Amino acid sequence: MKRLITTGGLVFAIACQTFADDHTALARVTAYWPSKGSAKTAALNKARLHEGDCAVDPKKIPYGSKMKIGDGECVAKDTGPAVVNRKAARSSGRNAAERNAIVIDRYFDSKERARAWAKSNPHFMPVQVQTP
C-alpha cells in the first residue's frame, strides 16, 4: 500500500509539471523555411504558417502554445519527425542536458532570414512555454 501511495504521488507530481500552464525548458532551436514549390502550410495539420510559428513535439508542447525564444515569440503550429525524435539536440549536444533538450523549429518566410537568425542566436537556449 505504501508503494502504491508513493507511486501515485510521483505520477501526480510529474503530471502536474507536464500540464503546467507556464514553464521553462532547455531547447535546441533550429530554423526552417518553405522549400521550393511547397505551400506555406504545416505538414500534418495543414495550418497556414507565418513567420513567428514553429514546429514542436505535440506530446511535449501542445499546439497553440506560445513560446518566448530569445529575441521573440512563436506559436506551436507544426511538427515533424526530426523535431519529435530530437535529432538536432542528440547530435549537437555537448552534455547530457543539451542532448536531452526538446527541439523547436522556428519558421521563417525566407531562407535568408532563417539563416541570419540561426547565425546570430545560440543553438541551445531556455524557452518559456505558455500552454493554451
Q: Quote the pLDDT of residue 132.
A: 86
The architecture that CATH gives domain 21-130 is Beta Barrel (2.40)
Tens of pLDDT along 35-48?
765 657 766 667 78
Q: What values do phi and psi take at 55, rounded to 5? A: -105, 135
Question: 20-46: b or e for each residue (b if 16 or more CB lie within 10 Å)?
Answer: eeeeeeebbbbbbbbeeeeeeebeeee
Domain extents for the chain?
A: 21-130
Query: Which pTM does this prediction carry?
Result: 0.77
Grid coordinates standing for 14? Answer: 510529474
